[in-house]
Structure 1
Amino acid sequence: MTDASDRQSTSFHRWRRRATRGLVTAGKASLQSGRSLLLRWRRLVAYLQDEDSFPAPYPPPPRPGRHTEQRDPAGPITVPARGYVFCFHVRATFTWSSEGLRPEALSWYAQYFMPQAIEQLTRLAAERAREFSPHRAGDMEVALQRALAEQTPWRYERGDVVVTCQPGAWVRLDQRVKQALQPHWERHIALASRYDEHLRRAQYAERLSRRWVSILREHIDGASADGAATGNEEHADALQHMLDLQEAAAEWIEDLLCDRFPDSTVFDPLTPVDLLSPPSQRQETPERPETPTGAAPESPDL
């Protein structure tokens, strides 16, 4: 009997210890859960009282409105110039916009309608390029941009969705034409620099002679007021000489301004044969004389 009672007592105490440890563990877990729930409850109350205290986990989607997106073709658009021997290279950009589409949807529609827009711009550029020689890229660009400005933004529809496209274009020369025109432009720049130098000299001479004329007149007027006639004839001759120089400098300036050629006429005598021939076989334009006859003497540059 004693052994049986001891065994029952031992098992009872063991069960009691296990139950006590389980209750303690459950109490600690309940306490931690209560603290976590309390912390969450306090955060919720603070969030409801002040929404700016805790940022939203995800940014809100943008509201539907008018969005734009710019896309460029992979390369330039090539169209033939007059004569169909050389080409113009058109650098293009397309600005897509729509009302009520989200940015990702607008991007998809821009990619979808991009081939049609490139084809439409190519057709318009080809129609304008036939009217211009291969070296007139600037005039071709002006005509193409004017044609694009006159047209309303291009509209493209797919179902109930409507997107608009505003293209932009810039024209560049063919590389072969650029190489052929480079010697002519270098000569034109040299002549323009020489012209500017002559014009500055003429203007300086005219200002200098005007200053000496005013000094001589003041001297002659002062001598006449004092009654001293000695040397007035020499001063009068010097004054007349300076007046002649001033008049010659003014005529020189007028001649320079009249003889100046505009940039648009630099390539008028050029033909496709001139563009294809080597530089050694092209006809050289005679230089303009540096100083006209009877002009004012050279003076230092300003």
Structure 2
Amino acid sequence: MNQPTEKTTWRRRLAAFWRRCLAALRGPDPVPQPAPAPPLPPGHLVERRSITPIDVAARGFAFQFQVHGVFVWSSDGLERQHLRSLVDRFAPYAHRYLKGIAAGLARGVEPHRGEEFEGRLRRRLRDLGDWSYTRDGMKVTCRPQVHIQLDERVQQHIRPFWEELISLDYERDVAARRARHTARTSTQWAAVLDELLTGPVPGAAASMTNERLADVVREVLKERLAEQQTLADAMTALGPQNEYAREGFFDLLEEHRGPA
């Protein structure tokens, strides 16, 4: 068996030393990082686009309605850029479809009845539900939200009518406020009179310096006295055999007299 020579040993030591130097210069080996989690699939996405105003003729074809609003586009599982691409492609189709529906309904509505036309159009769109469009296996839906504007010429014509209606509504509101104030005041006066008439000396109210209040109190006292006299006469006319009825009249008389 051959023994390693001194030269071979020296070479081995030099190689080992060189490997240690390289390892020191290279630094520690990098720790392997876990692979990133795959991105979550897109969920429900929504894209809103304004509707280019649509002019449709009202009944008689002399005036128009103008349709405004937005298209609400939505998708499930598509990237945002794919949704927008499909919206750009199908928006003209949705616009033409909406115009056809609106034009058919507008012909049956007078040009000043914008609220009626808006209601009809919204009900029709609600009945149709969402509109679906598909390309290359990707699907989007569209739901229009609309409101109606009258023809400018019609607005100018009916503006005086609405101005008058606003004035009448304001006057009615003022009258209602006055009536509520009067009712509160009357309730307060009624409470004062009731306290005077049911007090220990109701006749003293007639000596108040406020002549108007004194006159009212005198009139109420006259009515009270007349009612008491009527009850007293009826009770007197009853015979001894009508004791039950006499007790009832006595209770009524005491209620009209008030506390002594």
TM beyond 0.5: yes
**Cα shift readout 1:149-205 (whole Å, capped 9, x = no counterpart):** 222211112343322111111111111111222221111111111121122112212
Verify: 1:68 aligned to 2:68, yes or no: no
User: Matches of 1:68 and 1:217 in 2, distance apart?
Assistant: 68
User: Matches of 1:66 and 1:227 in 2, distance apart?
Assistant: 79
For the Cα contact (< 8 Å) 2:46–2:74, is it kept in 1?
Answer: yes
For the Cα contact (< 8 Å) 2:206–2:218, is it kept in 1?
Answer: no
Question: Normalising by the residue count of structure 2, what TM-score does the alignment of the two structures yield?
Answer: 0.65
In percent, how many aligned pairs have the same letter?
Answer: 34
Match of 2:257 in 1: none
Unaligned stretches of 5+ in structure 1? 1-26, 241-302
SS at match of 1:131: coil
**Cα shift readout 1:19-74 (whole Å, capped 9, x = no counterpart):** xxxxxxxx9xx98x975x53xx56x42x728x9xxxx8xx975624332222223x
The residue type equivalent to 2:48 in the other structure is Q
The residue type equivalent to 2:217 in the other structure is A
1:88 to partner: Cα distance: 1.0
**Cα shift readout 1:114-153 (whole Å, capped 9, x = no counterpart):** 1110111111111221222212222222221222122221
SS at match of 2:66: strand
The residue type equivalent to 1:118 in the other structure is H
Matches within 5 A, 1:1-302: 35=25, 37-38=26-27, 44-45=30-31, 48=33, 63-73=41-51, 75-222=52-199, 225-226=200-201, 228=203, 231=206, 234-237=215-218
Question: Normalising by the residue count of structure 1, what TM-score does the alignment of the two structures yield?
Answer: 0.56
Structure showing greater Rg: 2
Unaligned stretches of 5+ in structure 2? 1-17, 208-213, 222-260
User: Matches of 2:69 and 2:192 in 1, distance apart?
Assistant: 63
SS at match of 1:91: strand
Runs of 4+ in 1 over 6 A off after TM superposition: none
> Are residues 151 and 132 of structure 1, via their aligned partners in 2, closer, same or farther at CA, if it must alter by over 3 Å?
same
